[in-house]
Amino acid sequence: MQAEEKGKVTLECETRRPAKRVTWLKGMIELRSSRKYVIRQKGVVLSLTITCLEKSDTDIYICDVGTMQSRAQMTVQGETTKKKTLFCISMFFSWAQMVVGLHKDRSLYEMIVSSVVGYILG
């Protein structure tokens, strides 16, 4: 699972019957309800909401009810990384439009865009 720095994320696990005791762990560290970690239970659905995400929140999160465990790997993506990626994509499209403008060849633009999109997805 990927999440954004400064954002929030909610992890959920579901049990067969309401849990008497639930422990949420970040790696091997037990979490307690606080401003950062909001732990809730609604019937058989257990949830952990993590607020004000930081890169240091990247870890494996475990929902432990004694007889069952559920795990989720979360990676927090830095806000600056996302902004740099969007900037690079924007610059690429500006460059591609300039090339097409100089050559007045729309098919060249489409070829460049499809090559880069194929590389990114591929």
Q: Rounded to whole angstroms, how far apart are CA atoms 103 and 87?
A: 25
- CATH class assigned to 2-77: mainly beta
Sheet-wide strand order for 59-64:
2-4, 69-77, 59-64, 23-26, 29-30
Q: Phi, psi (5° rounding) for residue 8?
A: -140, 160
Q: What is the pLDDT along the chain (122 residues), one digit of tens a residue?
A: 888 888 999 999 999 888 889 999 999 999 999 999 999 999 999 999 999 999 999 999 999 999 889 999 999 987 665 565 665 566 566 655 655 555 555 666 566 666 666 656 55
pTM over 0.85: no
Residue type, 96: A
Q: Domain boundaries in the chain?
A: 2-77, 79-121
